[in-house]
A and B are shown apart, each in its own frame.
Chain A
Amino acid sequence: MQRRDARSFLEEVLLKVPDLTEEAREALLELANEKPGTKRASKLAAAIAQNKGPSDA
């Protein structure tokens, strides 16, 4: 098996979440390599909240 880093791990996770726009997916993956902590958590929350997809249209 292959070792994974945070980004490749998150890629795998997001495949299991269909209700997500490509834009939000990219924003979340960008955050995977950022410094962990409260600031990153808020950015993750914002990226998830701003998901503009068919379900929110």
Chain B
Amino acid sequence: MRERLTKITMQAFRGVRDVYDIDLAQSQSLLMYGDNGTGKSSLADAIEWFFTGEIELLAKEGRDHAVRHLGAPKEQATLVAIATNGELGGSCTLKSPNKLAIEAASRETFLLRGRTIADFVDKSKGEKWSALQRLLGLGSIDELRTDLQKARSELKRSRDEATSKTEQTAAALRAQKVEPEDVEKTLGTLAQACGFESQATIDDYFRLDLKTLMGGSTPVASPRATNAALKTEIDTVKINVDVAAFRKWNDTVGGGAQGTSEIDLVTSAVRWVKDHGDAKACPLCDKKIGADALRDKLLETLSALQEKATKLLSAEQSAKNAESALGSLHADRSRWRAKMREIGVEVSAPPDAVAVKSAIVERRAVDLAAVEACIAALKKWDAAALAALENQSFDAEPPSARNQAAVFGQLLVAAKQWSDASAAELLAESAFERADAIFEACQGEQKKYVQEVLEQISAEVARLFERLHPTKNIGGVAVETWGDKGIELAVDFYGQRQRPLHGVLSESYMNSVAIVLFLAMARTFNEHLEFLVLDDVVNSFDVTHRGRLGELLIEEFKDWQLVVLTHDRYFFEQIRRKVKGWATFQVLGWSYERGPSLREHRGATDVDAALELLEAGASGDAARRGRRGLEHVLKELCEGLEVPLPYRRGNDNEFREIGQLLSGLRRLLKDDSRGKAFLAQIDGDLRSLEADAQSVLNAEAHASDQGASTMEIRTTLERVRAFDELWNCAKCGSRCWKESGVRCRCGATPFPPMKTP
């Protein structure tokens, strides 16, 4: 059995500080309208969190904390409880996700958000692919592919590091005139020269008691070997100082960054103000100020100081690391110089260190020019040291046992380092190859799987798409294999097959494709969930397509529970006036303490709601609501009929007066003979409505007198209702300008809808 939602409860969750319920006891559909930032999406977040264990928007690192309402009391756990008409209901908290629900929903498609559609329409190819996976409800598989790709990259980095280490250790062997492949043979020869048996492997030598075997003498490196080892070390150790860290430090201390002492001072002041609720002056400067204002001011200052201090600490750590690297460079060179002296090579002292440490401790700028000059001098010193070592000549060393032992010992250490590095490289290479094989298999399987899925829903996608865009020139949306690029969505576009869609379709058509992919996927595959959540999905649709999508949802998904959240008033009204039995809410606003505040729309239309208010004795509110109903009808007519209205900048187009809308409608109807005849039929009604708008429905204009009577308001509301219904087909109920602007959807009523005499 597929399940529907019957109740959603949020506690200390997203935009809800305390507790908030949405009751859908009859498992009915839900329609919610509200402006941006009023908490609508908290509802979609709650359903997503309960059924997937995460909120996709907050899944990225550093956003986790936003699941919980910032101001929620400590004792209040973050919780979402969902009741269903089956077995999947329950609750989940931050630490205990609802495993049963997540398991059941892991193969289902139930949530579509406007931003996923936007990603599908706008983003780069890779991001579009991910958005397509999310649309289809296959996001977790795509995330797995992404993580396997990251794992492969991590193992590739390890492999590259291991290879580099092997190369370094092999270079150390070559510095001793031994090729890595000959090292065991050379060690064997030297072992025999030292008077003991050669061993099969490098590790075998380490198992021997070499000191005893060599007659108790500790091997001492020969000048030639020390020379070679020094040259290798100087050549290998690169000068790498993060000068950018010093630059960032200079910018930070130059920008007035704050240390902890000032923070401590202001923190103490905040504590003092808390303890002295009747304070009338600042404890820091003694200026007169009320306790509340003082506390706010201090908290604001503290927050700014803490932000600056965080920046400072980060820059300080980076600068200290760079200073430490610089210090090591000097220490290395002093050590090398001492060793060179031991073998009779003289070089000048390394360049003087720059006073970086003291600058950091005293929180002042580092002398960047001096740092850069020092690095250049160190490089010059290295070149001079290498040249001096290169020019050293050696007397022929007698092949004494002591010398042989020194050469053997030095080679054995280098051989062991090379051997360990080679073994680590082999393991790292093997791990990378395995990760590569898994990733490639994953990528191939994902393409195959998505292709199978899309092929299965293609016919449904094409059918639903044609309901949204019933034109003869665009259709046949389907998935196709396309050369070595894998799979692509394709469309018939003016007689030609086009791939990908983005090349030929507009943003709103792409929007439609995204929506129908989602709908077809859910309808084809869902086994456990019988609800769909659509969160702000009509952003790029014009009025006609918003209407068509509303009809498609109502008609094609009447056996489903729909949760439609929108900030589009027209889309909301379009659906609201056509459905019965849905829970319909308007979000009036949101506050930090109370969360979203909702008002339930009981009547199907504004006129119904106004009549309810009238019954309840609120005649002023009824008049206002009736006026708004008339405005909505006129706006819908003007948008649907594309009435030419003077353009207004910004949002002013949304706030036209009734008189302007009526004038526009009249102008349109005057354009042809049928329109003129129709206008003649309804002009009396239009004049009455115009007059009603200025008098009966204009509650503010006569606020000071007694206002219109209940009877007058009721008559006017009925007139608004009749005017609204005038444009509907009596047979199918749709507006008469559907389908290319000339007829209703069933075709029975043409535009204009002439009254029969």
Which residues does A use to contact B, with CB under 8 Å?
Answer: 1, 3-6, 9-10, 12-14, 16-17, 19-20, 28, 32-33, 35-38, 40-42, 44-45, 48-49, 51, 55-56
Contacts and interface: CB of A to CB of B under 8 A. Distances in A.
B39 interface: no
Contact of A17 (B53, B147, B438): B438
B59 A9 contact: no
A36 B146 contact: yes
Contacts of A4: 107, 141, 449
Closest 4 CB pairs of A and B: A41-B150, A36-B143, A5-B106, A45-B151
Interface in B128-167: 140-141, 143-144, 146-148, 150-152, 154-155, 158
Contact of A20 (B54, B150, B434): B434
Contacts of B456: 1
Nearest to B154: A45
A27 B603 CA distance: 57
B221 interface: no
Interface of B: 53-54, 59-61, 103, 106-108, 140-141, 143-144, 146-148, 150-152, 154-155, 158, 427-428, 430-431, 434-435, 437-438, 441-442, 444-446, 449, 452-453, 456, 525, 527
Contacts of B154: 41-42, 45
Contacts of B103: 5
A9 B442 CA distance: 9
Contact of B158 (A12, A49, A51): A49
B59 A6 contact: no
Contacts of B141: 4-6, 9
Contact of B59 (A3, A19, A36, A55): A36
Contacts of B452: 1
A51 B623 CA distance: 75
Given A19-B437, A44-B148, A45-B151, A6 B430 contact: no
Nearest to B456: A1
26 contacts: A1-B452, A1-B456, A4-B141, A4-B449, A5-B107, A6-B140, A9-B141, A10-B442, A13-B438, A13-B442, A19-B434, A20-B438, A32-B144, A35-B53, A36-B59, A37-B147, A41-B150, A41-B154, A44-B147, A44-B150, A45-B151, A45-B152, A45-B431, A45-B435, A48-B151, A55-B430
A16 B449 CA distance: 15
Contacts of B441: 13-14, 16-17
Contact of A3 (B61, B107, B158): B107
A42 to B, nearest CB: 7
A44 B146 contact: no
B144 A38 contact: no
A17 B143 contact: no
Q: Is the interface of A mostly helix, strand, loop or mixed?
A: helix
Nearest to B137: A3
A45 B446 CA distance: 20
A37 B108 CA distance: 22
A46 to B, nearest CB: 9
Given A9-B144, A16-B441, A48 B434 contact: yes
A35 B151 CA distance: 15
Contacts of A56: 427, 430
Contacts of A13: 438, 441-442, 445
Nearest to B106: A5
Given A6-B141, A13-B442, A36 B147 contact: yes
A44 B149 CA distance: 10
Contacts of A37: 59-61, 147
Contacts of B140: 5-6, 36
B453 A1 contact: yes
A52 B602 CA distance: 66
Contacts of B151: 41-42, 44-45, 48
A10 B439 CA distance: 10
Nearest to A6: B140
A40 B453 CA distance: 27
Given A5-B140, A36-B143, A49-B155, A17 B148 contact: no
Given A1-B456, A51-B434, A6 B445 contact: no
A21 B452 CA distance: 30
A11 B158 CA distance: 26
Nearest to B445: A13
Nearest to A50: B431
Contact of A48 (B107, B155, B453): B155
A38 B151 CA distance: 9
A16 B434 contact: no
A42 B146 CA distance: 12
Contacts of A38: 61, 150
B106 A6 contact: yes
B525 A3 contact: yes
Nearest to B108: A3
Q: Which of B143, B151, B442, B449 is packed against the most chain A CB atoms within 10 Å?
A: B151
A46 B46 CA distance: 33
